[in-house]
Amino acid sequence: MVDPRANYDVIVVGGGNAALCAAISAAEAGARTLILEGAPKAYRGGNSRHTRNFRCMHGEPMAVLTDSYGEQEYFEDLMKVTQGNTDEKLAKLAIRSSQECYAWMVEHGVRFQPSLSGTLSLSRTNAFFMGGGKALVNAYYRTAQNLGVDVLYEAHVTHLEREGDRIVSIDVEHQGQQHCLVSKAVVVASGGFQADVDWLADAWGPAAKNFLIRGTPYNRGVVLKDLIGQELESVGDPTQCHAVAIDGRAPKFDGGIVTRLDCVPFSVVVNKEGLRFYDEGEDVWPKRYAIWGRLVAAQPDQVGYVIIDSKSLELFMPSVFPPIKADTLEELAGKLGLPATRLQQTINEFNNACTEGRFHPTELDGLATQGLMPPKSNWARPIDTPPYYGYTLRTGVTFTYLGLKVDESAQVQGRTGPMKNLWAAGEIMAGSILGQGYLAGFGMTIGTVFGRIAGREAARYANN
Amino acid sequence: MQTIELVNLDAIAEARRQIEICNACRYCESYCAVFPAVHSKRAFSDGDIQQLSNLCHNCRGCYYACQYTAPHEFGLNLPKALAEVRQESWESHARPGAIAKIFHRSGTALSLFVVLAAALLVWLIQVAPKSSGEGFYSLMSHNAMVLLFVPAFTLPILLILLSLRGYWQTIGGEPVRWRHVVGAFGSIAKMKNLSGGHGDGCNFEAEDAFSNSRRRYHQATMYGFLLCFAATSVATLMHYGLEMSAPYGIFSLPKLLGIPGGVLLSIGTLGLASLKLKADRELADARVWGGEMAFVLLLFVVSTSGLALYFLRETRLLNELLSLHLGAVLALFLLMPFSKMVHGFFRLAALIRDEQCKA
Ligand SMILES: Cc1cc2nc3c(=O)[nH]c(=O)nc-3n(C[C@H](O)[C@H](O)[C@H](O)COP(=O)(O)OP(=O)(O)OC[C@H]3O[C@@H](n4cnc5c(N)ncnc54)[C@H](O)[C@@H]3O)c2cc1C
Ligand code: HEM
Ligand code: SF4
Ligand code: SF4
């Protein structure tokens, strides 16, 4: 059992990837370290438990990574998705350090596997964790505990007391009791605020109440809000979040990877009025799924309906829930709760606008509709071969962009200069680097790189 | 062959539900042979699920790695779901199935059976013809033993082959080629599917910590058993083919195989039993824990009584030891089709089938 009055050198707030990397690094540097994880043990690890890979620079084939992925290309990829909305120094630091992270992760218990079947396109850039993010989190908890790090689960940090350029104490609620903990140094790694739906609604309007949260319910941004409220510098657009279109039947929280739906490019998508609203075949799905999160969010009741026919059923990765199946469009409309005549009409118009041509499911095939608004620019085949299948689509939030501003040593910045004993790592500071957009696998890279730095720096400070 | 209906469809339906979630996730792809087999399909027949269940080695890697285990509403526990299907596939393909159910599930029944077999031997040794030779043939002649054990071994093997045929039909197996068998034995020789894919081992006895203990103890058990079996077979051949009869010297082939085999089997089973006490029962088929434990201990009794027989053959304990050893061996043989022993046969079949599907 953890003694709340014990004197810790470093207290790490949060229990996901960034927190664990920080705690391990601090303990290895000789600091007496405590992890305060808000979730119970069964749900420890935040959003990190849902991840599958991290993006890793490398000059030549390296373990499970094929070919090479250099600093320049990595940086350009980042510039493309963020449209320049990044801090170049921090971004390059993350990119350059990602290569040595690989060996560090293996040393600390993480095991890798070749890119998963169905994700070949990532085999060059992303190293996949064997067993996924929860296996990674388990390995880090074991390593940390072997290093003597104490872990307190169900420890909700509610407030960090600031005096000038220092954090002097940490308020934490544990099993119904309030404790006030003191440590020499503090690392905050408690993620974004996406699980606080009210906060999302402040930023997005009431529509956000219908969003699903893809990851942990424990990232409610309590610490982030507390620190920003104490005039620490923030970065990132507070009104933005990364959202994708997922299966509408997914649970409110923690549905994770299996709720994704990859069938939009082969479908017609309508809103609850039975009307199309966007080009389903604009680009390959990995480049479009984030856009669809927003598109669906803009529809009435924040819901969309994907309609495919039997021709397309096996063209995409299976997802967790089986599609709704019907022999006629009318019956399908009934099962999905859509106006039947309208749906029939929409599909008829679409089918009539389809043209002859070569269909190719894995590349932009140019098989486009003619004279239809909005158009479908690729993979446009008539929906005409029963049985028909339908899915509902909803907006699934991955993370938020608002974060704390840090420098290259992960130190949190106040209005008048750095905080002497406060560091931040992971999602809570990722806004500095990912101002908008997302690059698959970069979240774990940021957490690993800055978690290690934060832990090391916090321990150095505590040791002096 | 009406065997499929006997398998509990609830267990299959539950395993299918979980397998379909895994097929959307795929994070566990490299742990074992189960996941690549899953990912190559979209829909899973009852036969497919039974095949997957017999491919699963219960290493538990996928349980501890899973972000969807309870209390999450998806409630993943693949090792358990597959263990229950696997168990039911063995029981349903066994003939008579009811007997299999008893001995798989009840350690007490299995132990009683061993006691009865030992008692039978005590009696047989009194009435059976004796040879004039030394050692234990002075208690029971070689011919008498052969008369008892040859049918006690071959008939159960026949029953197992019958049930394997049912299994093979259920899973849609194809004609077996040499390379399928080679591939399967390659995997068995190293018990690859208990290696965790990375070589650190499985998650059996200490939650999510990886360890090769179970794998090592199993291989000691398996190779030990095979050595003992080889020793007995060689001895029989020597007896009839070369007219060399027991007792054999320490440097004879039966002893060179049998003593290390017995030692390995004793150490292996003791190790497996102790790990089994530490492991979480809810990640396997909890209904058969007792039957499984009794089976492990039966193997331990077979090997240690065999070793004791060798080292204590000059003492007054010979009679009791011989009854115990032969009784345990008799029980093991007779129960082969109705106990955990079938796991080796079904798993071999599943690995062969997996080679076919990979090809
Ligand atoms: C479904 C899904 C899949 C993803 N896949 C990938 C991927 O493959 N690769 C990738 O790079 N990124 C992926 N991401 C993004 C990735 O999850 C994040 O970038 C990364 O996990 C952030 O790590 P973190 O340690 O900062 O936060 P988290 O892992 O979310 O950890 C935050 C921790 O803080 C704790 N906490 C929160 N508030 C408090 C409090 N008040 N008191 C105490 N503790 C608190 C939480 O319980 C949690 O343990 C994915 C995200 C989702 C949702
Ligand atoms: C085809 C070859 C074999 C394979 C693939 C195999 C596989 C396995 C696996 C995966 C397990 C662990 C999971 C479980 O309990 O079901 C196991 C357990 C076991 N095996 Fe084997 N095995 C084989 C042959 C043998 C042989 C020849 C023996 C010796 C008679 C043996 C004895 C045992 C024992 C005693 C257990 C432990 C059961 C327990 O812990 O409850 N196995 N085997
Ligand atoms: S066991 Fe869990 S983590 Fe592993 S593949 Fe299945 S759903 Fe994914
Ligand atoms: S328990 Fe082990 S062998 Fe069985 S499916 Fe899971 S990872 Fe594979």
Answer positive or negative: Cα dihedral of A417, A420, A422, A426. Answer: positive
Section A254-272 average pLDDT: 96
Crossing angle of helices B318-335/B142-171, nearest 10°?
20
pTM of the model: 0.96
Among all bound ligands, the one having the nearest atom to the CA of B221 is 2
Q: Does B65 touch chain A (CB under 8 A)?
A: yes
Q: Is the pLDDT of residue A4 over 60?
A: yes
Query: What confidence score (pLDDT) does residue A350 get?
Result: 98
Contact across the interface for B39 and A42, Cβ inside 8 Å: no
What ipTM did this prediction achieve?
0.96
Protein residue whose Cα sits closest to atom 6 of ligand 4: B62
Please choose from B78, B85, B191 the residue to mutate so as to test ligand 4's pocket, defined by most ligand atoms within 8 A of CB. B78
A134 and B26 within 8 Å at the Cβ level: the answer is no
Q: Which residues of A touch B (CB under 8 A)?
A: 42-43, 49-50, 52, 111, 113-114, 116-118, 129-135, 138, 142, 251, 254, 256-258, 260, 314, 317-320, 322
Chain B residue with minimum CA distance to A41: B71
Q: HEC string of B215-243?
A: HHHHHHHHHHHHHHHHHHHHHHHHHHHCC
The fold of A244-396 is Flavocytochrome C3; Chain A, domain 1 (3.90.700)
The domain limits of chain A are: 8-237+401-463, 244-396
| Closest CB to B61 among A131, A133, A257 | A131
Residue A286 has pLDDT above 90, yes or no: no
Q: How far apart are CA B278 and CA B272, in angstroms?
A: 10
- Show the tokens assigned to A153: 């689960």
Give Cβ neighbours of residue A358 (< 8 Å, ≥ 6 apart): A365, A367
| Pocket-testing residue among B343, B345, B348, B353, ligand 2, by greatest number of atoms within 8 A of Cβ | B343
Peptide bond into A387 cis (omega under 30): yes
Residues of chain B contacting A114 with CB distance shorter than 8 Å: 30
Looking at residue B240, what is its pLDDT? 83
Looking at residue B46, its pLDDT comes to 96
Give residue for tokens 């071999």. Answer: B348
Mean pLDDT of A399-426: 96
Shortest CB distance from A130 goes to which of B72, B197, B209? Answer: B197
Return the best residue to mutate from B76, B203, B283 for the ligand 3 pocket (most ligand atoms within 8 A of CB).
B76
**Which segments of chain B have a pLDDT < 50?**
1-5
pLDDT on residue B133: 64
pLDDT at residue A420 greater than cutoff 80: yes
Q: What is the pLDDT of residue A208?
A: 94
Q: Chain A partners of B66 at a C-beta cutoff of 8 Å?
A: 134
Measured between alpha carbons, how far is B225 from B184 in angstroms, rounded to an integer?
A: 19
Which residues neighbour B76 within 8 Å (Cβ) at sequence distance 6 or greater?
Answer: B18, B21, B22, B63, B66, B68, B69, B70
B63 touches chain A (CB under 8 A): no
Which pLDDT belongs to residue B7?
A: 59
Model pLDDT for residues A164-195, shown as the tens digit of each residue: 999 999 999 999 999 999 999 999 999 999 99
Cβ atoms of A172 and A36 within 8 Å: the answer is yes
Helix axis angle, B78-93 to B9-25, nearest 10°:
140
Asked whether B167 and B50 are in contact (CB, 8 A), the reply is: yes
**Residue A422 is inside which H or E element, if any?**
strand A417-424
Q: What is the pLDDT of residue A204?
A: 86
Atom of ligand 2 nearest to the CA of B265: 29
- pLDDT category at A221 given cuts 50, 70, 90 is very high
The yes-or-no verdict on residue A16 having pLDDT over 60 is yes
* Contact residues, chain B, for A218 at CB < 8 Å: none
Nearest CA of chain B to the CA of A215: how many Å? 10
pLDDT of res. B1: 38
- Quote the CA–CA distance of B15 and B263 in Å, as a whole number: 39
Same fold, A8-237+401-463 and A244-396: no
Domain ranges of chain B: 9-92, 95-358
B149 inside 8 A of chain A by CB = no
Q: Please compute the mean of the pLDDT values over residues A53-76 and round it to a whole number.
A: 97
Say whether A117 and B209 touch across the interface (CB within 8 A): no
Domain A8-237+401-463: CATH class, spelled out: alpha beta
Number of the ligand closest to the Cα of A23 = 1
Chains A and B: how many Cβ contacts under 8 Å? 84
What ligand 2 atom has the least distance to the C-alpha of B293? Answer: 41
